[in-house]
Amino acid sequence: MFLGAAVAVGLLLVAGPVLTTIGRSFVAGDTGPLQLTLQNFTKLVGDPAVRQAALNTLIAGGGTTLFSTVLGTTFAWIVTRTDIPGRRGLAVFNLVPFFLSPYVGAMSWLYLAAPHAGILQKLALQYFGGGLEWLNLYSVGGVVWVLSLFYTPYIYLLVIGPLRSMDGALEDAARVHGASFWVALRRITLPLLLPALLSGALIVFVTSAGLFDVPLALASPRGIHMLPTEIYAAVQYPSDFGRASALGALMMAVTILFAVLQQRYIGARRFDTVSGRGYRPRSVRLGPVGRAAALGFEIVYLGASVVLPIAALLLVALSRLWTGIPRFDQMTIGNFRYVLFNYGLTQSALSNSLFLAVIGATLGVALGCLQAYYLQRRPGRIARLVAPVLSLPLGIPGIIVGLGFLVLLIGTPLYSTIWILLIAYVAHFFPFALRGISAMLLSLNPELEQSARAHGASWAQTMRYVMLPLLKPALVATWLMLFVIFIRELGATILLYAQGTETISVALVVLSDRNFGYVAALAIAQVVLLLGAFFLFGRTGADVLER
Amino acid sequence: MEASGRPPAGGPDGGDRGYVRTEGVTKAYGGLVAVAGVSFSVPAGQTLALLGPSGCGKTTLLRCIAGLEAPEAGAIEIGGKIVFDAARRINLMPEQRELGVVFQSYAVWPHMSVAENVGFPLKVRGVPMARIAAEVDAILAMVGLADWRDKSAMALSGGQQQRVALARALVHRPRLVLFDEPMSNLDSQLREQMRLELKLLQQKLAFTSVYVTHDQAEAFALAQTVAVVNRGRIEMMGAPREVFRRPATRFVAQFFGYNVLDGKAVAVSADSVQVEIAGGVRLWGTAPGRVKPSDRVALCVRKERVGLADPSRPVPPARQSIAGVLCAAAFQGSHEDYAVAVGGVELRVSGAAGDLAPGPVVVLLNASDCIVLPAG
């Protein structure tokens, strides 16, 4: 049937790259007869560069997880539990970094603070005689800094719901029975948030450690090894697919191990079934000092993650020749004109990205919708086995998905077409749609559907008049999220693009050492697309923030 | 226990001044006044019930006493210690008020065991572990949860969670125990059982408490004093029997399920008043306050105090009789509920299960059962 077919397609999309990567990791050589071997793994273990890369990746992922967990929880607490002025607006603005591209973020932080060249470095030199020399973005620390800015909203999103919907009596009970504010926070509020925090931390660790974009911009230029960039390097000429696949297989193994541990842990302590009616938690009244501190903290974060990077991009894009110092008398829109109307590479990059994002998001949502419906209506052993497999790609880095499809489809007519990109995009992110739509379906009482059928509507009419309208907010929100993800995708694209199928992100990488002005102008075009999606997202009525 | 021994009843903090007192407590949200100048006092070891419909402000008042809301005006004193005084800018934090509170949602912490939940008030007061264990065991035995000590709070039923909440509110012998609709999430059978168990605990431990509820049976069973709250004000305060049998206002009568027949006073003699209700029917009743002829009044009568008779039988001479029509009868087990139309208004009647059939009936009323109160 139709629904079953969608699930089957999903399983194929997951199995293709995963099994290919694992299979290829046990095959020696690039040509000649198929020969099973473990030498790809033994070579990795003996390679000090790989060990260094693993250590750096662990530090980057761990550091990012730590910082974004602290920041995300703090901001979620500030906007839900305090009387900070403008908290409704801040609640939404805190999500903006979620929609921006980490690669562009890393790039614009280089414009801002690259050693000797960044705007902030030059300003510090000019006005304070230096003082920012310690700030070296080309380092693991720089990677952690930029990643933390962009992963903070992940934790924020996951924590804000429980913080809002928690029964306020749980905290009040601690206070009236003798606990101070801080004791109640430590013994009641934080432990109750722990399941959400842990699953958020796991997602951040796995996705940030696997992200290719930021290490490419900040680690590779100084020869600092990280696992995603190692995979990329192994695929470059002279390519060693065995080595790349072995690296990928190891990263996937770690991801799956973490996911299993987390499921075990969270399964043992699910707090959402506590009975009894509660009320909304009370807000804390901040004094003038507290209010200034909270507001200052918000301003620093939004400044560092949104305002400063975009301002830097604009300055560079509007400059005739970028020297690190903005010259307002020499501003031009020439870069924009060239990138948008005269330069073949960037023009085709824009149209390729738009094509991939629109078609990919539509396919992803359609697939996710059908699968969610199938799994919902057939909760049984099949669904229990299939569901975890279908969410697997969420934990797999884009560069590994790209590698899998590269190995699988190299030599087929699909290779070096835009379709291989489309397949990789959908395969990597349809689980995202499946999850979002499943959550929405789960919140709909099945009696709504049964009632339509009982009153004489056919299955198609029920879908058309009852289910789709009810699901619409989730569908639109999911579509926009996929659009955003696809507009900025780099990890899989970098391995699968060919001449003529460059996307915006690829063009940014390709141009990065040629012309700052064009890069910044193209990045601004991408930012406009992403913020446009964010704006629409805010209007869909899909209440990610309210519950 | 560490910080506050319970004073003996009638001790220095007890007596006439009251052990717990509120004075003119007022709380508004924006323009909406939730609590409008409430004053009461509770003697040591006694229970005051705040009884009223949902939204009347009783829970807000309780939260003001607990320190979870800050009133705009008034003062609150617990055990001789001022915990809130708007004029003197005193507002103790909740944790400084030495309270026990049972919340409507129980608020049992799901990440802790039963013993950890119950021991929490002692733990945050720095009581040694061994003492905590002993006190927790003692109170758990009292609420009948001794065997559940080390179970996760998640494994408990609603009724058991309620017992945990109760034990937690009592374990540190607080100066005052606050109950916020603690039984409203239990089914009716369990509610009756818990009511009696709570009454026993009250007698054993003699704690002072304020008990918020919308259930009159709970208030009557547990409290020495009942305050009926309406729109942020106390409409009437008194012993349970007094407030139930002699409601002072139309609202109180209606809240207790009286038939309320609006009308006009047509004749007054001493404390007897004749009232003309809709349809021109005239009835005699008793007025606790002053009523003048042509005042708008409400004649209130409990449904158990209304008699019904077959019109073909002779009427007992001592009672007033009016003609009515029996519209519906509903068998309730121990009794029967009737709806009777009298002169255009509907009367609720509760009587022994009988053989009355829908149709004309004679309604019998004693003038002493009909309470005449000012309208509105």
Cis preceding linkage at A238, omega within 30: yes
The answer on pLDDT for B356 being more than 50 is: yes
Least confident interval from A268-282, A304-318, B160-174:
A268-282
Query: What phi and psi, each to the nearest 5 degrees, are found at residue A91?
Result: -55, -35
Q: Is B168's CB within 8 Å of A177's CB? A: yes
pLDDT at B17: 60
Q: Is B172's CB within 8 Å of A177's CB? A: yes
pLDDT at A31: 63
Q: What is the mean pLDDT of chain A?
A: 86
The answer on pLDDT for B317 being more than 80 is: no
Beta bridge partners of B39: none
The amino acid at A450? Q
Cα distance between residue B193 and residue B348, in whole Å: 29
**B193 in contact with chain A, both atoms CB, cutoff 8 A:** no
A188 to chain B, closest Cα gap in Å: 7
pLDDT at A229: 92
B372, B188, B343: which is closest to B281 by C-alpha? B343
CB B273 within 8 A of CB B359: no
Write down the ipTM of this complex.
0.82
Residues of chain A with a CB closer than 8 angstroms to some CB in chain B = 167, 169-170, 172-181, 183, 187-188, 191-192, 194, 269, 271, 273-279, 282
Least confident interval from A303-312, A383-392, B241-250, B330-339:
A383-392
Least confident interval from A31-35, A112-116, B57-61, B98-102:
A31-35
Closest Cα in chain A to B173:
A177
Least confident interval from A106-110, A338-342, B173-177, B197-201:
A338-342
| pLDDT level of residue A190 (50, 70, 90 thresholds) | very high
Q: Give B311-320 contacts, CB < 8 A, sequence gap 24+.
A: B311/B360, B311/B361, B311/B362, B315/B362, B315/B364, B316/B364, B318/B366, B319/B364, B319/B365, B319/B366, B320/B283, B320/B284, B320/B364, B320/B365, B320/B366, B320/B367
> Which of A169, A180, A188 is the closest to B95 by Cβ?
A180
Residue-wise pLDDT for A2-58, tens only, equals 778 888 888 888 888 889 888 888 887 666 567 788 888 888 888 888 899 999 999
**B121 in contact with chain A, both atoms CB, cutoff 8 A:** yes
> Which of B68, B104, B158 is the closest to A282 by Cβ?
B68
pLDDT at A33: 65
Closest Cα in chain A to B125:
A178
Residue-wise pLDDT for B97-134, tens only, equals 999 999 998 888 888 899 999 999 999 999 999 999 99
Least confident interval from A500-514, B127-141, B242-256:
A500-514
| pLDDT level of residue A546 (50, 70, 90 thresholds) | very low
Cα distance between residue B117 and residue B111, in whole Å: 9
The answer on pLDDT for A240 being more than 80 is: yes
Beta bridge partners of B275: B265, B283
Cα distance between residue B142 and residue B146, in whole Å: 8
pLDDT at A445: 78
Residues in contact with B270: Cβ distance below 8 Å, sequence separation at least 6, in sequence order: none
Q: Is A175's CB within 8 Å of B154's CB? A: no
pLDDT at B5: 41
